[in-house]
Amino acid sequence: MKFNQFLLPIILLFLGAIYYFSFNYIFTSTTNKLIQQQIDTSKNQADLIARILETRLENNVSKNQVLIELQNSIENFSTANSFVCMFDNTGKEICHPNKEKIGKTLLKNNSILKLGSNFEIENNFKNAIINKKSTGGIRKMKKHTEVVYLSPVKNSNWIIASHANIEKHKSIINDLKEKLLFTFVLIWLLSALLLFFFLNLINKKNLQQISDNNKITTEKYFNELNTIQNTLNNSQNEKQIKRLLVDKGTKLSPVFINDIAYIYTQDRMTYIYEHNGEKSSINLTLDQLFNSLNTIDFYRVSRQVILSIKSIDKIEKYGNTQLKVSVKPISPIAIIISKAKLTSFKKRVGKN
């Protein structure tokens, strides 16, 4: 019995050490993934706007006109959660939602940009702008921390900067930390109870069986932790960009994702229809757009059409193995669900 009395604390200390390091690893890696996903979202937004500006310049639109169009598109937008601005290669603000910041030049000690898989590499933020390289990470200032991605505009001295407030992720991260901590403490307590119970009921010959049972219990709760992590990752993946910059005649205008009814391609052009019936075009493929949309609200019905579930007005049988979808506003092209997509489409629409 003395051997068991010493064995139990040793095993519990050993398990506690394993659980502690596992907790730190999962929490740190998941937190870094959340931040990296926000960096990827900022990258998509910065690259998208940079490509639009490049296209405008290639179409012989004057730089001054392009600047005016971009400023008009972003002016007076809230900078609380995320926003886009533009610098020149000296670090001077040339477009910003807050007009008072236009014309101001960044100081050398303004902030540090942390890069790398664990954000261990530091680079001066102004130097990153001067170097005109696509890069992104955590921007550390004296009183503020944010996610930022820089995307240069070809054939110009402009650099698009997409900013996102990292503070909005704190509640998610804190909630994850509480759940992980609770789960690991629960595992440790359950392990202690199981070990105490078995060590007092069986002899030394059954120690191997105790170890096996404890391993099964541990694996069970680690699977639950993986489920929590996967759920959190999926929730973050679904948070994509909130608006797109589109061509409406001779103007660039933002279109909010929630206002999109459907997107389709025709004659190698990509068109966007809003719920209010307005039509615009965008210089992106359906593949590029679909990667920026969340899969809760949007479904790709074919290679030619991305459909907002909210826009569906009526679904009818079309032939023996297909469906025809009517939408509001009325689509200029037929929206047909093929036999191959029939099952997934029914399940997808049935969730809403």
pLDDT at 1: 42
User: What is the Cα 307 distance to its own chain's centre?
Assistant: 21
Pinpoint the alpha helices (H) of the chain: 2-58, 63-74, 125-131, 170-201, 207-237, 286-291, 339-350
Cα distances from 6 to residues 10, 196, 200, in angstroms, run 7, 11, 12
Q: How many CA atoms lie within 13 A of 174 on its CB side?
A: 6
Alpha carbon dihedral 169, 172, 174, 180, in 10-degree steps, equals -140
Average pLDDT over residues 141-155: 89
pLDDT in tens, 307-317: 999 999 999 99
Looking at every residue in the chain, the average pLDDT score rounds to: 83
Segment among 87-101, 127-141, 216-230 with least mean pLDDT: 216-230
Q: In terms of Cα–Cα distance, which of 224, 234, 233 is closest to 184? A: 224
pLDDT in tens, 65-124: 999 999 999 998 888 888 999 999 999 999 999 999 999 999 888 899 988 777 778 889
Confidence of residue 54 (pLDDT cuts 50, 70, 90): very high
For domain 243-350, the CATH architecture is Beta Barrel (2.40)
Whether residue 169 has pLDDT greater than 60: yes
Confidence of residue 190 (pLDDT cuts 50, 70, 90): confident
Q: In terms of Cα–Cα distance, which of 158, 89, 86, 96 is closest to 130? A: 89
Whether residue 320 has pLDDT greater than 80: yes
Whether residue 213 has pLDDT greater than 90: no
pLDDT at 225: 59
Give one DSSP letter per residue of 56-74, joined into a string: HHHTT--HHHHHHHHHHHH
Confidence of residue 215 (pLDDT cuts 50, 70, 90): low
- For 250, counting Cβ atoms within 10 Å of its Cβ (0-12 exposed, 13-18 middle, 19+ buried), the class is exposed
Percent of the chain whose predicted confidence (pLDDT) is above 70: 83
pLDDT at 236: 44
pLDDT at 68: 93
Confidence of residue 206 (pLDDT cuts 50, 70, 90): low
Residue 269's SS3 state is strand
Query: Span 1-239: which CATH code?
Result: 3.30.450.20
pLDDT at 271: 94
For residue 259, what are the contacts with CB-CB under 8 A and spacing of at least 6? Answer: 274, 275, 276
Give one DSSP letter per residue of 29-41, joined into a string: HHHHHHHHHHHHH
pLDDT in tens, 6-28: 666 777 777 777 877 777 777 77
pLDDT at 12: 74
**Gap between the terminal Cα atoms of the chain:** 61
Average pLDDT over residues 214-236: 59
Percent of the chain whose predicted confidence (pLDDT) is above 90: 39
Q: Please work out, in degrees rounded to the nearest 5, the angle formed at the alpha carbon of residue 219 by the alpha carbons of 214 and 222.
A: 125
**In which residue ranges of the chain is CATH 2.40.50.1020 found?**
243-350
Query: Radius of gyration of the chain from Cα atoms?
Result: 27
**In which residue ranges of the chain is CATH 3.30.450.20 found?**
1-239
